[in-house]
Amino acid sequence: MKLIDNFLDGLHAVYLGQLFGWKSFLYYRLQFIFYLIYAAAAPLASFLFIYVIYHVTVGIPGWSFYQLLFLSGMVGMLSALVPYICSSSGMVNGLRYGYFDLYLTRPYSAFTALMANFSDTTGMMYVVDQLALVIYAGAHLTVTALGVIMTAITFILGTILVVMLFQIIILFSYRVLRSSGVVNNFFNTLTTFAGYPLSLYGFTGTVFLTLVVPIGFATYYPTELFSGKVGVAAFLYALVFSAILIFVFYKIISVKLRGYVSAMG
């Protein structure tokens, strides 16, 4: 019972963090629209890129224009969602200047403190515009209701995994370097590779980007599920593997946070 209570308290705290983050952002109503319009440049650029590929060449074997567009939208959403949930500079500053100490004086767990306090709300506008690209591409693909549900679940689990991986790397690099520079480079490289079908990188590349750095769960597999390249069996595999990885990552983060030492005194 205590475990469930703690979990619900954690969810409540994350919800409050989100709610007040949004209240802060909505205090500037006009900017909301400004960001929404501005952020559209990214999915438009992706669209143009893929359009050119399929216009001047035969494209990537086995992948249609809309499938690749869908994948690119998923990667775009992920690369906006991760900093939205956990801004690396915010988190490193929080650790470095001791705001994190302050969050730990509140009645929630260290992991909740991490999830509830470092989101950058302006990032959501970029997620919304990328989602529009995903919906546009998805509308041109034949799908089933089950496919959509499986895609959504895999994407959510995959995003949680990538966020947790991101937090682990931030904690490690903070320990060693006290900065977030390495993290952003790593994440950038990762999304560059995830922008194309993992199958391009052969068996080794696919395994690496699925099990070692699990970005595939958030981008590649949802796209495959959505476009019907793989079915329920693959979904169940993804479910089991991502559940195991989430558990492992959670343990690593908890241990790392216990050993966390802020500005010493």
Partner 1 sequence: MQRRDDLLGNGYLAVLRTTFISDFGYRIETLARLARRLIAPIASVILWTIIYAASNTTTINGFPRADIFIYFFLVSAIGSVIPNANISNSMQYDIQSGNVATYLIKPFIYPLALIAETGGDALYEFTFITLPIFFVACATVGFNLVLLRVALFPIEILLGFLMTSLIYFMIGCLAAYVINISGISNTLLWVFNVLGGRLIPLTLFPAGIASVLTILPFASIYYLPVATISGLASWSYITNGILYMLGWIAVFFLASLLVWRVSKKKILAAGG
Partner 2 sequence: MKNATGEDAIAINDVRKTFTTYEARSSSFLSVLSKRKTEKKALRGVSFSVKKGSITALLGKNGSGKSTLIKLLVGIMAPDSGTVRVLGMDPWKERITLARRMGVVLGAHPTLYNDLPPAQSFEYMRRLYRIPKNEYEKRLRHFIRLLELDDVNRRQVRELSLGERMKCNFIAAVLHLPDLIVLDEPTIGVDLPSTLKLRATALDLQKRYGTTILIATHILEDVKVLAEEVVILDKGKVVFNGSKHDLSVLFGDYKTVELYFAKNAKVNLSRLGTVVDRRDSYVKIEIRSDKARDKMLAELVSSKNVVDYNISTPEIGEVMSKFYSRVGGMRAKKR
The span from the CA of 111 to the CA of 163, in Å, is 12
Q: Which residue, 104 or 128, has its beta carbon nearer to partner 1?
A: 128
Q: Is 28 in the site for partner 2 (CB under 8 A)?
A: yes
Nearest to 170 by CA among 66, 260, 68, 46: 260
- Single out the residue of 4, 27, 56, 62 in contact with partner 2 (rule: CB under 8 A): 27
Count of Cβ atoms closer than 10 Å to residue 93 Cβ: 16
Q: Which residue, 45 or 207, has its beta carbon nearer to partner 1?
A: 45
189 is in the binding site of which of partner 1, partner 2, none (Cβ under 5 to 8 A by kind)?
partner 1
- Single out the residue of 13, 95, 124, 190 in contact with partner 2 (rule: CB under 8 A): 13
Q: Is 7 in the site for partner 2 (CB under 8 A)?
A: no
Do 162 and 251 form a contact (C-beta atoms < 8 A)? Answer: no
Residues 46-85 that bind partner 2 (CB under 8 A): none
User: Helix, strand, coil shares of the chain as percentages rounded to 5?
Assistant: 80, 0, 20
Q: Under the rule (CB under 8 A), what is the footprint of partner 1?
A: 25, 28, 31, 34-35, 38-39, 41-42, 45-46, 48-49, 52-53, 55-61, 120, 122-123, 125-126, 176-177, 179, 181-182, 185-186, 188-189, 192-193, 195-196, 200-201
CA 227 to centroid of chain Cα atoms:
21
Question: Which residues are CB-neighbours of 103 under 8 A, at least 6 positions away?
Answer: 94, 113, 116, 117
Count of Cβ atoms closer than 10 Å to residue 180 Cβ: 22
Shortest reach from residue 254's CB to partner 1, in Å: 26
Do 252 and 168 form a contact (C-beta atoms < 8 A)? Answer: yes
- Single out the residue of 108, 166, 220, 235 in contact with partner 2 (rule: CB under 8 A): 108
Q: Which residue, 201 or 260, has its beta carbon nearer to partner 1?
A: 201
Nearest to 136 by CA among 61, 199, 51: 51
Nearest to 190 by CA among 178, 198, 179, 181: 198
Q: Is 107 in the site for partner 2 (CB under 8 A)?
A: yes
18 is in the binding site of which of partner 2, partner 1, none (Cβ under 5 to 8 A by kind)?
none
Residues that bind partner 2 (CB under 8 A): 6, 9, 12-13, 16, 20, 23-25, 27-28, 97-99, 101-102, 104-109, 176, 261-262, 264-265
